[in-house]
Amino acid sequence: MSHSLIPLSGTKEEIYKQLLPQLRHLVRDEENHTANLANITAALKSALGFFWVGFYLVDGPWLVLGPFQGELACTRIAFGKGVCGKAREQQQAIIVDDVDKFDGHIACSSKSRSEIVVPVIKNNKVIAVIDVDSEQLAAFDDVDRRYLTQIADLVAGLPGL
């Protein structure tokens, strides 16, 4: 079944509010988690214009690259390393206004200037993270944290994860 997003406009928060029900509808009848994650990343990039957005999936001590939109990315991130690994370790969202000032930042792209990482938690265990990068400093805020957390909760409820 083909889907297309209704064009979204307004403030960042208004776009997220319009996007969430569309994402729920998009994944409602699909059981394949790869397809769902791929469509979610495409929708996020399309609706919000992120430089890079994707998922890293937990595989033992590693976060392994999953579906994403953007430039080439790091394939594996160790537990506790970089922003993604720290978000997994701390089981909470992390916003970094300037990645060059984040101790242990893993530079997958030199164009990335700020980042938000939100863990996907299922049964009190991190199963993945949503990673979003911007070419702008301080691009992310509590609006992003709140809505990306809701998207992470949607992902946690998907079959196959």
Does the structure show a pLDDT above 70 at 132? yes
pLDDT for res 100: 85
Task: For residue 126, give every residue at least 6 positions away whose Cβ sits within 8 Å of its Cβ, in sequence order, or none.
Answer: 58, 88, 91, 119, 120
- 87 contacts 93 by C-beta, under 8 angstroms: yes
Q: Which CATH class is domain 12-156?
A: alpha beta
pLDDT tens readout for residues 2-24: 566 666 788 999 999 999 999 99
pLDDT tens readout for residues 90-128: 999 999 999 988 876 666 767 889 999 999 999 999 999
pLDDT for res 1: 44
Dist. CA 161–CA 147, nearest whole Å? 20
pLDDT for res 22: 94
% residues pLDDT > 70 (the chain): 93
Does the structure show a pLDDT above 50 at 149? yes
Strands 76-78 and 114-122, bridge-based pairing: unpaired
Q: Is the whole model's pTM more than 0.85, yes or no?
A: yes
Using CB atoms within 10 A of its CB, is residue 88 exposed (0-12), middle (13-18) or buried (19+)? buried
The one-character DSSP state at 16 is H
